Amino acid sequence: MGWYDGGVVFWYVNFLSWQNRILLR
């Protein structure tokens, strides 16, 4: 379950970072 949580957190952080870039642009 550790790898699963890590993958979800990594994807979630990437998604928020990408969304923030478009919203701030």
- Each domain of the chain, given as residue ranges in start order, spans 1-25
Number of H helices, E strands in the chain: 1, 0
Provide the residue type at 9 as one letter.
V
Q: Is 18 left (phi over 0), alpha (psi -120 to 50) or beta?
A: alpha
Provide the residue type at 24 as one letter.
L
Q: What is the pLDDT of residue 4?
A: 62
DSSP labels, 1-25? -HHHHHHHHHHHHHHHHHHHHHHH-
Q: Give the mean model confidence (pLDDT) for residues 7-21.
A: 88
- Give the global pTM: 0.44
